[in-house]
């Protein structure tokens, strides 16, 4: 089953969940604040997507970090600050997608 990782009050995450539901795509929502991904999961996401795609450098959280924190390895930084993960993150098996708009989410969900 498709897993959607995000934040409950994130507009993009709500839009993704709505688009998937309207398309009849079964999915489970996982809030990054209450259930942050473990290091193995973060390492997998980073291996598939890359740091540039997964770390949200436009976020309020990023702007609040000092330079030393920004220089930490991505997996360590995202484990400590899961709100830095670009959202939503869609996961099905070993496939991973983050960010985007409704057409991207639906294409990912419907891909074999």
Q: Is 13 a catalytic residue?
A: no
Q: Specify the pLDDT at position 84.
A: 97
* pLDDT value, residue 112: 83
Predicted TM-score (pTM) of the model is 0.94
Q: Are 64 and 58 in contact (CB under 8 A)?
A: no
Tokens of 30: 């996982």
Residue 93: burial class (beta carbons within 10 Å; 0-12, 13-18, 19+): exposed
CB 23 within 8 A of CB 74: no
**Cis amide linkage into residue 88, ω under 30° from 0:** yes
User: What is the domain class of 2-110 according to CATH?
Assistant: alpha beta
Give per-residue pLDDT as tens, 44-101. Answer: 999 999 999 999 999 999 999 999 999 999 999 999 999 999 999 999 999 999 999 9
Q: What are the pLDDT digits (tens) for 10-25?
A: 999 999 999 999 999 9
Measured distance CA(78)–CA(102) in Å, rounded? 25
Q: Which of 3, 10, 14, 53 is catalytic?
A: 10
């Amino acid at each position: 089953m498709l897993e959607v990782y995000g934040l409950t009050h994130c507009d993009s995450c709500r839009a993704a969940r709505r688009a998937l539901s309207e398309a009849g795509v079964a999915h489970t929502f996982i809030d990054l604040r209450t259930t942050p991904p473990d290091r193995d999961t973060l390492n997998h996401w980073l291996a598939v997507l890359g740091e540039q795609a997964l770390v949200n450098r436009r976020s309020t959280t990023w702007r609040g970090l000092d330079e030393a924190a920004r220089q930490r390895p991505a997996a360590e930084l995202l484990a400590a600050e899961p709100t830095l993960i670009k959202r939503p993150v869609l996961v099905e098996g070993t496939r991973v997608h983050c960010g985007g708009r409704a057409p991207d989410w639906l294409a990912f969900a419907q891909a074999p």
